[in-house]
């Protein structure tokens, strides 16, 4: 039974946000004629461990801060539900981040000091998102946090480990990943806007309203789909680069749902957006390597 609770606490549905940027960073390097698959695999493991550690930190600190209550309408949180104790979740978080650091040792050997700072900053931000004296997610910084760490750092950082440099294309692809991950966050914030308001969690949706959140979601999706088109044109309209467009119908369906659904009804859209992101990323990767 404990294993089931730890899987629940790790929030596997959020892992595409960690997996997709690494996939695209490796694929972009392959497109440029460079590939180091062992490094790519270790990068993927480290990214997933940081994501899981962040999820455990969120579970713990949201409970300690009084944000996760019996009124929340999202999936069960193990600390708030009493499935795991605060001590167990805290220890799980420490162990997971320690394993990420262990995996990162090899990446530091490959990439040097820049990877040290990226790894430490990612772990610190994962904790500071809901923990510490100034939780980023509680003061409206969550959206910027996601764009930076799940996009502008994750993709160029992976590309750097493969190639030893950062390109304009890796930054653009990183931005597209960051905006897609932010769309997932926006659905979460739209779903939880009522309870977040009551508990003082000042997300951008709480600050500026549901209309802003829906507009933000739509803009994030448009940016995510626009950037690969720009790259395709830059690379002389390589037709394989347009494979990602096959995911547009589902993305449009998710966007329409965000505009028409409320509260608990948005829960399937959260997972749906994550799945669309994964399909989009796989098709994007195929476009880069074909």
**Which residues of the chain register pLDDT less than 70?**
1, 70-74, 237
Q: What angle do CA 83, 200, 182 make, to 5 degrees?
A: 80
Query: For residues 189 and 205, is the Cβ–Cβ distance under 8 A?
Result: yes
Tens digits of per-residue pLDDT, 110-169? Answer: 999 999 999 999 999 999 999 988 999 999 999 999 999 999 999 999 999 999 999 999
Give the number of C-alpha atoms closer than 13 A to the C-alpha of residue 108, restricted to the C-beta side. 12
How far apart (Å, rounded) are the C-alpha atoms in residues 262 and 277? Answer: 22
Query: DSSP code of 149?
Result: I
Query: For residues 197 and 213, is the Cβ–Cβ distance under 8 A?
Result: no
How far apart (Å, rounded) are the C-alpha atoms in residues 159 and 157? Answer: 5
- Give the list of residues 6+ apart from residue 149 with CB closer than 8 angstroms, or none: 121, 122, 125
This prediction has a pTM of: 0.94
Give me the pLDDT at residue 20, please: 96
How far apart (Å, rounded) are the C-alpha atoms in residues 182 and 161? Answer: 24
Closest CA to 240 of 287, 173, 284, 282: 287
Give me the pLDDT at residue 1, please: 58
Give me the pLDDT at residue 2, please: 84
């Amino acid at each position: 039974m404990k294993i089931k609770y730890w899987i629940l606490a790790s929030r596997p549905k959020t892992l595409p946000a960690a997996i997709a940027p690494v996939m695209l960073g490796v694929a972009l390097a392959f497109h440029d004629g460079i590939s180091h698959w062992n490094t790519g695999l270790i990068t993927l493991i480290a990214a997933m461990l940081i994501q899981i550690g962040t999820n455990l930190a969120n579970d713990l600190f949201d409970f300690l801060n009084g944000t996760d209550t019996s009124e929340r309408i999202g999936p069960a949180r193990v600390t708030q539900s009493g499935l795991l104790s605060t001590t167990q979740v805290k220890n799980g978080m420490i162990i997971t981040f320690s394993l990420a650091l262990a995996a990162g040792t090899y990446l530091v050997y490959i990439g040097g000091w820049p990877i040290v700072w990226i790894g430490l900053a990612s772990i610190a931000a994962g904790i500071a998102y809901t923990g510490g004296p100034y939780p980023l997610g509680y003061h409206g910084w969550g959206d910027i946090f996601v764009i930076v760490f799940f996009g502008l750092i994750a993709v160029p950082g992976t590309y750097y480990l493969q190639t030893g440099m950062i390109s304009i294309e890796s930054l653009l692809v990183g931005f597209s990943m960051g905006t897609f991950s932010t769309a997932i966050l926006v659905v979460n914030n739209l779903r939880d806007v009522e309870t977040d308001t009551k508990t003082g969690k000042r997300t951008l949706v709480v600050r500026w309203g549901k209309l802003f959140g829906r507009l933000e979601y739509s803009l994030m999706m448009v940016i995510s789909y626009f950037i690969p088109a720009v790259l395709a044109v830059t690379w002389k309209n390589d037709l394989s680069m347009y494979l990602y467009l096959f995911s547009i119908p589902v993305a449009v369906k998710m966007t329409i749902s965000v505009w028409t659904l409320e509260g608990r009804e948005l829960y399937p859209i959260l997972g749906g957006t994550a799945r669309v992101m994964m399909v989009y990323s796989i098709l994007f990767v195929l476009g880069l390597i074909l």
